[in-house]
Chain A
Amino acid sequence: MPKYVVASTMDIPPGARKLVEVRGRLIVIFNLNGEYFGLLNRCPHQGGSLCDGRLVGLIEAGSEPGEYSYSRAGEVVRCPWHGWEFDIRTGQSRCEPDRITSTQYQVAVETGEVVTNGPFFAETFDVSIEQEYVVIEV
């Protein structure tokens, strides 16, 4: 699959996200502590823009009703419309992870040198070999 250079890593610091368009697809790139993940910016339910959703933690059941476990702060995006939660790392919904998923894209970080040597596609980009870039397979 062709790889597209979509952002400098400096554009998406940890905890941030960026909406990019690649071949007509709107994709939101998340940075979770230096790891980058890409999801189609369209909730599989009614199409809400996941880029506009809040990043939350994972709330799960404790040992019995009334007990909550909380983990993975900031690794779940809630659709801004109906609140469906998606695991940014996997695209899986929290409500029904095996049945409902958000389309995921492979994201990598490449050095400016690698990017310059290609083969990569970049639509509106000046690439500097001193920097690192977020690269997405579409």
Chain B
Amino acid sequence: MNVQVIDRPAGASRDKSKLAIADCDIHPSPKSLPVEIYPFLSKRWQNHLETYGFIYRQGFPTGPAFQRGQPDAARRDAYPPNGGRPGSDLQYMREQHLDPNNVQLGILNPLRSGQGLQNADLAAAYCRAVNEWQVEEWTSKEVRLKASVMVNYEDAISSVAEIDHWAGNPNFAQILLLSRTAEPLGQRRYWPIYEAACRANLPIGVHAFGYGGTPVTGGGWPSYYIEEMVGHAENTQSLLTSMVFEGVFERFPNLKVILIEAGFAWLPALSWRLDKVWARNRSEIPHVTRPPSELIQAHIWLTTQPMEEPEPREHLRDIIEMIGWDRLLFATDYPHWDFDDPTRALPIQIDTATRERLFLNNALDLFSPRRTS
């Protein structure tokens, strides 16, 4: 058996007849902090950053704990010709991604945006700055793009203030958290964030990565980047488990959660496990009144990237059918190295209606209060 790849005829048009898509994970970067972010920060915090730098729950102030496979974890071909980091040039993003891939709706998920900074006041100020920056440099210039409300999720008070500040603003499509939190995301210190999200009628996106400080496995720190990368799925399973068993979805019945960039094929096995554990331990968690699989079905969406690639590829269809075609949101992760190309990432054949659902309409429905026309 050979590795199965969908063959596209050489030289075939890459964009003319393409279906429009929603890309639920695009990473914009500032060209530089002084030029694009400092204008939204007070002098105090500008001086603070110049003096003390970025202090997270990890040893390196700028680089990651695990050295990545590519610089900036970026596609090598995503560096703007005029300089700057990948994802820092709107015009180049249009030329390389939004136009040729016919992106109708793109959700911006800025990383390194103040989240996880140990200094809570700085983190809140930085999140606000990044939110202002997203509007100034991106969504006000490109109607296809929608921003995420960045919040310092380790501090619920400032997070709620930030959500309330942007509630109703049509530039924002979701609230963004990172997955590696200080404590499991179901715990009550985070509940005010969910309450504010429901009030603002915004879904919560949880993107893989972050700075929780605990080892990236329950058994300690691995040696290699590949183990950390793969482990984001396990990390996301743990936060989902926490949200289910803490009763978050009972308490916030309108809450919608999007799990971003953590894969999705693990979800059926996890749902089945949680159902069994729930059934066996009802007396411990009586606040969970429905089987976890039902709660997950009602409250959880997942982005598709990085798309699992089983062999034979048809096994992926089994998994998606178990999850439900309406629960997956297509995402490319542009401009990062594990980018999924919308024309080739889904390794199985599907009919046009299903394709439109997966690649576009699921996202439009989810973000419909802010639906682009």
Contact = CB atoms under 8 A, between A and B. Distances in A.
* A and B pair up: yes
A46 B76 contact: no
Given A47-B344, A81-B76, A100-B2, 9 more contacts: A44-B5, A45-B5, A46-B344, A46-B345, A52-B76, A52-B77, A78-B76, A83-B337, A100-B3
Contact of A96 (B3, B10, B339, B341): B3
Interface in B277-297: none
Contacts of A83: 69-70, 337
Can you list the 4 inter-chain pairs with the closest CB atoms, starting with the nearest? Answer: A80-B76, A24-B11, A52-B77, A80-B77
B370 interface: no
A57 to B, nearest CB: 15
B5 A53 contact: no
Contacts of B70: 83
B8 A47 contact: yes
A72 interface: no
Contact of B339 (A25, A40, A81, A99): A81
B338 A82 contact: yes
B132 to A, nearest CB: 32
A24 B337 contact: no
Interface of A: 24-26, 40, 42, 44-49, 52-54, 78, 80-83, 96, 99-100
A46 to B, nearest CB: 5
Contact of A40 (B10, B341, B344, B345): B10
A34 B187 CA distance: 63
Contacts of A52: 76-77
B144 interface: no
Nearest to B2: A99
A25 B11 contact: yes
19 contacts: A24-B11, A40-B10, A42-B8, A45-B5, A47-B343, A47-B344, A48-B341, A52-B77, A53-B76, A80-B75, A80-B337, A81-B76, A81-B338, A82-B339, A83-B70, A83-B337, A99-B2, A99-B3, A100-B3
Contacts of B11: 24-26
B154 interface: no
Contact of B10 (A42, A49, A81, A99): A42
B261 interface: no
B69 to A, nearest CB: 6
B3 A82 contact: no
B340 interface: yes
B23 to A, nearest CB: 15
A46 B134 CA distance: 30
A51 to B, nearest CB: 9
A95 B51 CA distance: 45
